[in-house]
Amino acid sequence: MDPLQALPGTYDLLPEEAARWDRLHARVADFMARYAYGRIETPHLEPADLFSRSVGTDTDIVQKEMYAFEDRGGRRLALRPEGTAGVVRAFIEHSLDKQRPYHKLWYWGPMFRAERPQKGRYRQFWQFGVEAFGVAEPSMDAEQIALAWTLADSLGVVAGTLRLNSIGDAQCRPAYRELLLRFLTGIESKLCDGCRARLTTNPLRVLDCKEAGCRRLLADAPRTVDHLCDDCARHFDGVRASLDSMSVPYRLDPGIVRGLDYYVRTAFELDSPRLGAQSSVLGGGRYDGLVKALGGGDVPGVGWAAGIERVLLSTEEPALTSEPLHAYVAAFPETREAALAWAQTLRARGAKVETDHQGRSLQAQMKEGSSLGARYVAVLGPDEWGKGEVTLKNLESGSQEVLVLERAGSLIAPA
Ligand code: HAM
């Protein structure tokens, strides 16, 4: 029988890489606390309808990529392709808008899209993201973009450009759509197959086609930012002014239209030159009508999400280097039991400690301690142990001394 393997586009997270994930998670959680975001987690499984009503029936995500199926009770369910819809559902279900005037929430978890797997593109991938509800002012958009930029910088993401656009709202978009349709119909025969199909379903999305031929033709397309209504224009000016006052660099890009239907006004993406074809590290924008469309009140919202695999692929290593062991406790055959007990004492005091379980030679244990990045190797020789002492070797300086256990313990374990 062939050995079973993980499905295409999915992968196992092994300890070394998982340690990088843990460090990333700690860093992200710290940043979220700095910006006053509270944690929310929603189910990975939701009614499929939630995504068609929010992400949009005509989007690639819902049409082609969503893992949707009927369960044993005949309910149509989906593995969530993104996080915003579930958070909005939870926001409405728990009447969070009745508790406080506004909410800032963040999440971290797996998403599922049946895309063609390639580097940086998976079928089960992970996102962390933020959603802020109840604030229509542009300062919230700007604060979220600043959070994304500063966090990416602190993680050592080799960032490309932060690209910003405004795609208008229900007031100004219909007229713009007409204008765009007229332009696109004029060049229809020269567009790629994908664009020709989108022309009828979602003409705005033609603007973010990556085909070189289409890109050249689209350079002359009407831009949303030139056709905003007064309210949208004022909002966009506000976002830009706040970004400027926080010294967050960005480039205006009329091609940022996003692949999900719920966006209005602000849309943005950050890419990294390290990623190749799948260059977007994070993306988001404003979605003021979404809470209402899903049955809640008239509550504005704005958010973004980052692909965790893509963050890690585009991160310079030093920013997420591992924290080494405090000590490796090396033992002789007579002191193995003692080594296990002393390691237990040090661990209870908060130290990161490893010890030998295989009766290996002292030399092999010293080598293991060094390969695990331990600061100290504590050698429990039988004579010293009998006197309540231990030989402590500092692997950084190479120095070595015999110390009473208590003194060695306080050097190893952090206060
Ligand atoms: P999105 O642009 O579809 O937005 O996804 C956000 C990020 O998820 C992307 O920038 C990318 O890093 C990562 N991503 C997407 N698909 C894949 C994939 N197949 N494999 C690996 N990484 C992937 C959203 O999902 C919105 N919910 C963001 C948002 C939150 N907007 C408002 N609030």
> Average pLDDT by consecutive 10-residue portion of the chain (415 residues)?
91 91 94 96 98 92 95 97 98 95 97 95 98 97 96 88 95 94 92 88 85 88 96 98 96 91 96 86 97 97 97 80 85 95 93 94 95 94 95 95 95 83
Q: Among 76, 78, 87, which Cα is nearest to 127's?
A: 87
Contacts of 218 (CB under 8 A, 6+ apart): 206, 207, 209, 255
Q: Write phi, then psi, for 266 (nearest 5 degrees).
A: -65, 130
Distance CA 279, CA 255 (A): 14
* Ligand 1 site residues, Cβ closer than 6 angstroms: 82-84, 113, 115, 120-122, 125, 127, 129, 131, 259-260, 280-285, 303-307, 309-310
Q: Among 191, 184, 197, 189, which Cα is nearest to 210's?
A: 191
Tell me which residue has its CA closest to atom 16 in ligand 1. 121
Dihedral in degrees, nearest 10, Cα atoms 140, 43, 39, 311: -70
Residues of the chain with CATH 3.40.50.800: 327-412
Q: Which of 7, 310, 313, 314 to mutate to test the pocket of ligand 1 (most atoms within 8 A of CB)?
A: 310
Tell me which residue has its CA closest to atom 14 in ligand 1. 307
Residue 322 confidence (pLDDT): 66
Instruction: Write out the CATH class of domain 15-172+228-319.
Output: alpha beta
- Sheet of 124-133: strands edge to edge? 38-39, 103-112, 124-133, 301-307, 280-286, 264-271, 162-166, 251-252
Please give the distance, rounded to the nearest whole angstrom, from the Cα atom of residue 278 to the centre of ligand 1.
Answer: 11
Please give the distance, rounded to the nearest whole angstrom, from the Cα atom of residue 125 to the centre of ligand 1.
Answer: 9
- What's the length of the chain? 415
Cβ atoms 21, 13 nearer than 8 A: yes
Tell me which residue has its CA closest to atom 32 in ligand 1. 303
Tell me which residue has its CA closest to atom 18 in ligand 1. 121
Please give the distance, rounded to the nearest whole angstrom, from the Cα atom of residue 236 to the centre of ligand 1.
Answer: 23
Q: Which atom of ligand 1 is nearest to the CA of 120?
A: 21
Cβ atoms 48, 77 nearer than 8 A: yes
Q: Which atom of ligand 1 is nearest to the CA of 311?
A: 12
Residues of the chain with CATH 3.30.930.10: 15-172+228-319
Centroid of chain to Cα 179:
36
The model's pTM is 0.89
Distance CA 132, CA 152 (A): 19
Tell me which residue has its CA closest to atom 30 in ligand 1. 304
User: Strand, coil or helix: what is 45?
Assistant: strand
DSSP-derived secondary structure letter, 91? H
Please give the distance, rounded to the nearest whole angstrom, from the Cα atom of residue 305 to the centre of ligand 1.
Answer: 6
Q: Which of 42, 280, 281, 315 to mutate to test the pocket of ligand 1 (most atoms within 8 A of CB)?
A: 280
Domain at 327-412, CATH from 3.30.465.10, 1.20.1560.10, 3.40.50.800, 3.40.50.620: 3.40.50.800
Distance CA 241, CA 236 (A): 9
Place of tokens 């009828």: 200
Tell me which residue has its CA closest to atom 10 in ligand 1. 282
Q: How far is CA 114 from CA 25, 65, 110, 336, 407, in A?
A: 25, 4, 13, 52, 57
Please give the distance, rounded to the nearest whole angstrom, from the Cα atom of residue 60 to the centre of ligand 1.
Answer: 13
Model confidence pLDDT, tens digit, residues 290-334 = 999 999 999 999 999 999 999 999 987 666 666 789 999 999 999
Tell me which residue has its CA closest to atom 17 in ligand 1. 121
Q: Which of 112, 113, 115, 125 to mutate to test the pocket of ligand 1 (most atoms within 8 A of CB)?
A: 125
Q: Among 389, 373, 326, 379, which Cα is nearest to 356's?
A: 379
Place of tokens 């205006």: 252
**Residue 397 is which amino acid?**
S
Distance CA 234, CA 230 (A): 6
| 232 token code pair | 């949208």
DSSP 1-42: -PPP-PPTT-----HHHHHHHHHHHHHHHHHHHHTTPEE---
Please give the distance, rounded to the nearest whole angstrom, from the Cα atom of residue 61 to the centre of ligand 1.
Answer: 11
Cβ burial of 216 (10 Å; 0-12, 13-18, 19+) is exposed
Model confidence pLDDT, tens digit, residues 32-71 = 999 999 999 999 999 999 999 999 988 889 999 999 999 9
- Enclosing H/E stretch for 328: strand 327-331
Q: Among 144, 111, 74, 405, which Cα is nearest to 260's?
A: 111
Q: Which atom of ligand 1 is nearest to the CA of 84?
A: 27
Q: How far is CA 185 from CA 181, 188, 220, 258, in A?
A: 6, 5, 13, 21
Cβ atoms 258, 59 nearer than 8 A: no
